[in-house]
């Protein structure tokens, strides 16, 4: 059973973010994404020999 | 230094037991792969503890195999099972992962140990010394990078994606926060491991402890908010 048009199951628990969280969560997600990309960049740089050693 | 690894080991195995216990009840593949991944995580930190007291070539090989090669990939495969719904894809990737893991095992068994091993310093972390002791050929290094990139993208990327979906639809707040914690926790040793491999700063042991605490906290938080269908910790199955 799904709510029509929402794609969300009716049992799902909705929440309303506080003003603080409205900004905090996207910033945290972006930071995590940057961290993930940075990790991959370090690996790529090390493959090209641009870091002290692998 | 060993106290950090002892704590990491205890938490990792408790976490692994909790996930494998859920697997016994639910019988879903993602829990099995996560559970095995966490056992590898625990073996990685356990071998760090052992190497702080005594050196053994098999222990350092097990340290490299579990910690550097297999943990991220098996945890990431759990997330792949959860998020990739296209029939057969997750299973095919799992088969490839098992084959690559067996090759990794073979490579580690065959890996020579250098004479530098006699001067192994137990007061220093294994991550600061293994390059001089354990001979890793091109296949080993290539496989390590491949498994880690795959696992990190799947686990961290999957948790970020799940958190984003919960945020966008404004549902299951605890699971959203749980996924953020899992992503942050998984990222810590992944970044530290990359730094070590790249010959940069070494904060691997601390990152392993913080990482497993964050992931376990995320798992517990996500478990608090179960939907009638399931239990998952990185469920993005809203649609």
% of chain B surpassing 70 pLDDT: 93
CATH of B2-224, one of 1.10.357, 3.30.420, 1.10.10, 1.20.1070: 1.20.1070
- Output the pTM of the full model: 0.89
- Pairwise CA distance, residues A28 & A44, whole Å: 24
- Which residue has better confidence, A5 or B180? B180
A54 touches chain B (CB under 8 A): yes
**Count of positions (residues) in chain A:** 54
By the 10 Å C-beta count (0-12 exposed, 13-18 middle, 19+ buried), A37 is classed as exposed
- Which residue has better confidence, B182 or B203? B182
Give the pLDDT confidence of B80-116 residue by residue, as tens digits.
999 998 999 999 999 999 999 999 999 999 999 999 9
Quote the mean pLDDT of chain B: 91
- Pairwise CA distance, residues B188 & B8, whole Å: 13
What is the three-class DSSP state of B137?
A: coil
Give the pLDDT confidence of B132-158 residue by residue, as tens digits.
999 999 999 999 999 999 999 999 999
Domain ranges of chain B: 2-224
Flag if A54 and B199 touch (Cβ within 8 Å). Answer: yes
d(CA A30, nearest CA chain B) in Å: 9
Query: In the prediction, which pLDDT does A25 show?
Result: 95
Residue A1 CA: distances (Å) to CA of A5, A18, B231: 12, 29, 18
What is the three-class DSSP state of B168?
A: helix
**Which token pair is A28?**
């945290």
A44 touches chain B (CB under 8 A): no
Query: In the prediction, which pLDDT does A3 show?
Result: 46
């Amino acid at each position: 059973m799904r709510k029509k048009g929402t794609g969300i199951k009716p049992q799902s628990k909705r929440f309303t973010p506080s003003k603080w969280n409205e900004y905090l969560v996207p910033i945290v997600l972006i930071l995590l994404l940057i961290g993930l990309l940075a990790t991959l960049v370090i690996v790529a740089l090390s493959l090209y020999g641009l870091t002290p050693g692998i | 230094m060993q106290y950090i690894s002892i704590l990491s080991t205890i938490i990792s195995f408790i976490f692994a037991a909790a996930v494998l216990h859920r697997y016994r009840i639910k019988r879903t593949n993602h829990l099995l792969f996560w559970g095995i991944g966490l056992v590898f995580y625990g073996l990685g930190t356990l071998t760090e503890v052992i190497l702080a007291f005594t050196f053994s070539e098999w222990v350092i090989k097990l340290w490299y195999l579990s910690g550097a090669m297999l943990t991220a990939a098996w945890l990431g495969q759990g997330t792949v099972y959860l998020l990739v719904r296209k029939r057969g894809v997750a299973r095919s990737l799992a088969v490839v992962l098992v084959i690559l893991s067996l090759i990794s095992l073979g490579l580690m068994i065959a890996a020579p140990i250098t004479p530098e091993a006699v001067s192994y310093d137990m007061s220093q972390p294994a991550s600061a010394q293994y390059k001089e002791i354990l001979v890793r050929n091109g296949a080993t290094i290539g496989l390590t990078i491949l498994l880690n990139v795959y696992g990190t993208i799947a686990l961290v990327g999957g948790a970020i994606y799940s958190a984003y979906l919960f945020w966008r639809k404004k549902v299951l707040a605890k699971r959203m926060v749980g996924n953020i914690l899992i992503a942050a926790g998984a990222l810590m040793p992944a970044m530290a491991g990359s730094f070590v491999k790249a010959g940069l700063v070494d904060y691997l042991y601390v990152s392993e402890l913080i990482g497993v605490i964050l992931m376990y906290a995320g798992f517990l938080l996500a478990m608090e908010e179960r939907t009638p269908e399931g239990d998952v910790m990185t469920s993005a199955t809203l649609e």
